[in-house]
């Protein structure tokens, strides 16, 4: 039985761990190799949640003061979340847990059935 690493403390990250491991187990694809990717996805989820907490606290834009200058600038956590989501999507595709993965499998089955006629 696999468990999230001790560093994973955030509720949403632990929840993601459970969802992914259950899906991989259903597919018969839960093993030490896939767990490396799962661990990375869960760590990314924890980082994403921390950035979301930062946005909740400071907002999407923040007041920046540099001496007598004052301006609003984008909270850097916004960009980081977008990058994390993209990386998670890539890892999800690697595990074949995306809707597109299901479509590819269905297309292969359809082609094979058609060729049988």
0.85 surpassed by pTM: no
> What are the tens digits of pLDDT across the range 10-34?
999 999 999 999 999 999 999 999 9
* pLDDT given at position 99: 80
Predicted confidence (pLDDT) per residue in 56-93, tens digit:
999 999 888 999 999 999 999 999 999 999 999 999 99
DSSP the chain: -----TT---HHHHHHHHHHHHHHHHTT--SHHHHHHHHHHHHHHHHHHHHHHHHHHH-SEEEEEETTEEEEEE-HHHHHHHHHHHHHHHHHHHTT-SHHHHHHHHHHHHHHHHHH-
pLDDT of residue 59: 94
């Amino acid at each position: 039985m696999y468990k999230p690493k001790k560093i994973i403390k955030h509720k949403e990250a632990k929840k993601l761990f459970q969802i992914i491991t259950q899906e991989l187990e259903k597919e018969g694809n839960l093993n030490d190799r896939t767990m490396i990717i799962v661990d990375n996805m869960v760590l990314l989820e924890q980082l994403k949640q921390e950035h979301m907490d930062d946005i909740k606290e400071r907002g999407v834009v923040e007041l920046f003061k540099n001496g007598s200058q004052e301006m609003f600038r984008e909270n850097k956590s916004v960009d980081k979340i977008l990058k994390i989501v993209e990386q998670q999507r890539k890892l999800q595709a690697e595990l074949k847990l995306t809707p597109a993965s299901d479509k590819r499998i269905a297309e292969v089955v359809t082609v094979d059935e058609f060729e049988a006629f």
